[in-house]
Amino acid sequence: MSRFDRLFQQLKAQNQGAFVPFVTLCDPDFDRSFEIIETLIANGADALELGFPFSDPLLDGEVIQAANKRALDAGYSTAACFELIAKVRAKYPEIPIGLLLCANLVFVPSQTQFFERCKQVGVDAVLIADLPVLAAEEFIHDAKQQGIQPVFICPPNADQATIERIAELTEGYTYLVSRSGVTSAENQQNAKNLDNLVERLKQANAAPILQGFGIAQPQQVKDALKLGADGAISGSAIVKIIERNLDNQAKLVQDLGDFVRAMKNATVL
């Protein structure tokens, strides 16, 4: 059983949903990024969703774009990100780790090498933001060869055929996008048909559903669970805490801990 599968089984037994934070690796630098991840886990994160800094992010709004730039400007590369994941895995052998990144980082120099490296450092799942589910076979084959669970996004306008294909191919967790557009803590307007999407995903036996985009307050976590999602992902709100405390790591850690505890507390059903 995978770490994600085990996590959702345990949370269900405890009558809880999952809270999963997203951060960009090596933002603002390697050592501070590791301390940030330590803080997330210490304060209740059930799993991690991690991004690699990239010069042309696809779904990211201004806040996460800035995080990418900070890491890149500091000289950190894909190699450094894998090194950081290995350090996290060594300290936290049970925490599920998913990656959310763009295809260019996977297919250069080759997807085979990428997934081999994922396995070596202890990654559990990979979501390629710009890989359509209709063109996923090659990616899925190489991922599964290395024991990596493929994850796909369910957009708010997904038709029934897309939902069924996502349910068929996705493992670990299903990423349900709350709304159209890019990531942002400010834009918290959910699509009107999310409850219908959740119901149809469940009818198709999809992997556990994590709702993301615009999740910035504990009440939104509760609302996601009320819709039938199995948990929530928060990224921009967390990265904003990092951004406004770049000159004060102690305050960053304190504010981040407070935020994660509040979000995790909201998952108790």
User: 114-159 pLDDT, tens per residue?
Assistant: 999 999 999 999 999 988 888 888 889 999 999 999 999 998 889 9
Q: Is the pLDDT of residue 55 over 70?
A: yes
Q: Is 187 exposed, middle or buried (0-12, 13-18, 19+ CB in 10 A)?
A: middle
Supply the mean pLDDT for the chain. 92
63 or 49, which is more confident:
49
Distance between CA 128 and CA 153 in Å, rounded?
9
Q: Is the pLDDT of residue 18 over 50?
A: yes
Nearest to 173 by CA among 160, 158, 187, 154: 154
Q: Is the CATH code 3.40.50.1100 the one for domain 18-261?
A: no
pLDDT at 192: 64
Distance between CA 61 and CA 63 in Å, rounded?
6
Active site residues: 49, 60
pLDDT at 59: 59
Peptide bond into 109 cis (omega under 30): yes
pLDDT at 107: 86
Distance between CA 225 and CA 246 in Å, rounded?
33
Q: How remote is the C-alpha of 150 from its chain's centroid?
A: 13
Q: Is residue 253 a contact partner of residue 35, using CB atoms and an 8 Å limit?
A: yes
pLDDT at 60: 61
Distance between CA 230 and CA 46 in Å, rounded?
12
Give the count of beta carbons closer than 10 Å to the beta carbon of residue 200: 18
Cβ within 8 Å of residue 77, ≥6 positions away: none
Q: What confidence tens digit (pLDDT) does each residue in 209-230 have?
A: 999 988 999 999 999 999 999 9
Percent of residues in the chain assigned helix, strand, coil, to nearest 5: 50, 15, 35
Q: Where does residue 126 fall: left (phi above 0), alpha (psi -120 to 50 degrees), or beta otherwise? A: beta
Amino acid at 154: C
Between helix 218-227 and helix 249-265 the angle, nearest 10°, is 30
pLDDT at 248: 98
Cβ within 8 Å of residue 134, ≥6 positions away: 165
Calculate the dihedral angle through the C-alpha atoms of 182, 183, 188, 189, rounding to the nearest 10 degrees: 20
Helix (H, G, I), strand (E, B) or coil at 75: coil
Q: What confidence tens digit (pLDDT) does each residue in 148-187 have?
A: 999 999 988 899 999 999 999 999 999 999 744 444 444 3
Q: Is the pLDDT of residue 32 over 60?
A: yes
